[in-house]
Structure 1
Amino acid sequence: MTEDALRDWWKTAIIDMEPGRIAFRGHPVQDLIGNVTFPQMIWLMVRGDLPDAAQAHLFEAALVAAVDHGPQAPSIAAARMAATCGVGLQSAMATGLNMLGDVHGGAGAQCAALMYDIAERAGPMDAAVKAGLAEWRATHGKMIPGFGHRFHKPVDPRAPRLMALVEAAAAEGTVSGDFARIGQAVQRQIGADRGTPIAMNIDGATAVIFCELGFPAPLSRGLFALSRSVGLLAHAWEQTEQGGRNKGPMPPAILPRYSG
């Protein structure tokens, strides 16, 4: 194997590094330290450019909104249980992260994919929304990701605040507002289809923001995972401080019901 082939083995445009020098996407690390925020750094690493302050503010709002949803969330519960099993904080966090999949943690990416699909359809928005929803249901079932919440009824308190920030950003020209309108149209159509109003949830609102900012739909899951990592760390650390050994999902005095 030639030296060029070896150097191409992990070819990357993300980091350029040699002894005494580190550059991320062409920016020397010393120029970034103290001059960009952590959300701006995330954007730079995954996108290759730096957002302006208004874009970074909206992006940061989406990240802040999804950091935690309590020990009833499987990912958080898993991290807390892992913390009682003698593993390190990073292992407890990884245990929780590995719980994030299509059902728990995947709705934002799914909703973003639906919104991008609707945006690409020709014709009036209402017709595009109906067609997009019909195709989604035919492929994935009747539940539409990003709308309704099994716990927060009738309103997920995070969503209205995020949507208000999107509307303000659109008014200032930071984003187009197109995906906010798509999200609202989807919300109305689902309500009309079921005969009762339905609210957008955190996954729908963050999907709107990520789409407005131009993030590809699959990245939404990774961005959610970054956000939720904060909650995983906090809960794993809290559980470590509280102590306890080998805590399972139920107190030892309560045994699962035998159904055999």
Structure 2
Amino acid sequence: MMVVLGELGGSDEYSLVEALKQGKVQKPVVAWVSGTCARLFKSEVQFGHAGAKSGGELESAQSKNQALRDAGAVVPTSFEALESVIKETFEKLVEEGNIPPVPEVTPPPIPEDLNTAIKSGKVRAPTHIISTISDDRGEEPCYAGVPMSTIIERGYGVGDVISLLWFKRSLPRYCTQFIEICVMLCADHGPCVSGAHNSIVTARAGKDLVSSLVSGLLTIGPRFGGAIDDAARYFKDAYDRGLMPYEFVEGMKKKGIRVPGIGHRIKSRDNRDKRVQLLQKYAHAHFPSVKYMEYAVQVETYTLSKANNLVMNVDGAIGSLFLDLLSGSGMFSKQEIDEIIEIGYLNGLFVLARSIGLIGHTFDQKRLKQPLYRHPWEDVLYTK
């Protein structure tokens, strides 16, 4: 059997009518031409596409359906009846033995939408990202479970936000204030250091803010601002093992390792780093314990006996004092402290702080409309 579904407009269906009349089509034909509702409209109606347009009487759905019916096709009284007519025609052919019966097949169930199934608790789906520090699914974002409105209402500062997003807890005010002091003191150190120099050169090359910032950040490492974690690791290991300062320094020397947090290109015994002094002064006034800092000072005393510029730098000060913050606050286990140092939290503090200065240098160069930087020949030693 054949099933034909046509539509009003055009004359294609009449070719089937002629084929039925001439006996060219021997199979039973079930047909329906849609668009019978066109007569209900006062004007010409456009259906589905350009050809489905109610035009003359011969192109109407009613005329086509009647012509098909007169030619011998099985035409239902409405589109809704098409399904039952197809079924009746097929069953009649089976009864007459013209076609073999077709066994009924139970269609497979349509799979339930995954999101709907998850909501109903029927299935579990693996997550691709695990996040424990913030949640933005409610009416307002929460940092470590603290709503944004609470952060504002309680007057939390940048240090408090860092304590929530980095350490997943609200640290005492003296701790968060120390974090803020570190950020302020490390925000910039002039245009001559490697990070600022890179950002300045990149900005003067016409690059955008992000490119200039990243150019400066990529210089941070063991020789520039990236020794805070190493300083904390070595100071903690030496202190916890009970090494005397000279034993620690000489042991590092035998290994061929410079003591992280000790030594400066400019500062010396007679020209101490003011940032180090400010951090130590704050810690003495507010920290319950400064045992790691005092150990670092003893190490500095020994290294100064070797060379005048082997003073404690800001990396060593932050590294040792952060150990005192973590252990003295009573809010971290030994395992958590080791993990924080291993992951690189303390270097992250310098990266965050110095980003402020690098952005400032980028804006400064663009504001001054500085041209492309080219290093002067006289500052280069050309040699073979």
TM-score (norm 1): 0.85
Is the CA contact 1:114–1:136 (under 8 Å) kept in the aligned structure 2? no
Higher helix share: 1
Please state if 1:24 is matched with 2:147.
no
SS at match of 2:220: coil
Please state if 1:168 is matched with 2:285.
yes
In the aligned structure 2, how far is the partner of 1:227 from the partner of 1:144? 23
Give, in angstroms, the shift of residue 105 of structure 1. 1.7
In the aligned structure 2, how far is the partner of 1:59 from the partner of 1:211? 13
In the aligned structure 2, how far is the partner of 1:22 from the partner of 1:12? 13
Counterpart of 2:321 (choices 176, 185, 209) is: 209
Give, in angstroms, the shift of residue 207 of structure 1. 1.5
Please state if 1:257 is matched with 2:381.
yes
Identify the residue that residue 362 of structure 2 maps to in structure 1: 236
SS at match of 1:133: helix
In the aligned structure 1, how far is the partner of 2:282 from the partner of 2:163? 19
Letter in 1 for 2:125: D
Which sections of structure 1, spanning at least 5 residues, go unmatched? Answer: none
Give, in angstroms, the shift of residue 255 of structure 1. 6.8
SS at match of 1:247: coil
1:204-247 per-residue CA deviation (whole Å, 9 max, x = no partner) reads: 21122221222633211111111111110111111110112321
1:41-98 per-residue CA deviation (whole Å, 9 max, x = no partner) reads: 1121110011221112222222211111112111001111111222222221111111
Counterpart of 1:133 (choices 246, 249, 260) is: 249
Which sections of structure 2, spanning at least 5 residues, go unmatched? Answer: 1-113, 115-122, 327-336
Give, in angstroms, the shift of residue 130 of structure 1. 3.4
% identical equivalent positions: 22
Q: Where does structure 1 differ by over 6 angstroms across 4 or more consecutive aligned residues?
A: none
Counterpart of 1:71 (choices 191, 195, 217) is: 191
In the aligned structure 1, how far is the partner of 2:357 from the partner of 2:185? 11
Max Rg structure: 2
Identify the residue that residue 150 of structure 1 maps to in structure 2: 265
Letter in 1 for 2:301: R
In the aligned structure 1, how far is the partner of 2:300 from the partner of 2:379? 41
Taking CA–CA contacts closer than 8 Å with sequence separation of 6 or more, which of the two structures ends up with the larger relative contact order? 1
TM-score (norm 2): 0.59
User: Are residues 73 and 195 of structure 1, via their aligned partners in 2, closer, same or farther at CA, if it must alter by over 3 Å?
Assistant: closer
User: Are residues 80 and 177 of structure 1, via their aligned partners in 2, closer, same or farther at CA, if it must alter by over 3 Å?
Assistant: same
1:4-39 per-residue CA deviation (whole Å, 9 max, x = no partner) reads: 31x2x2101011222644211111122223521012
Root-mean-square deviation (CA, aligned residues, Å) is 2.4
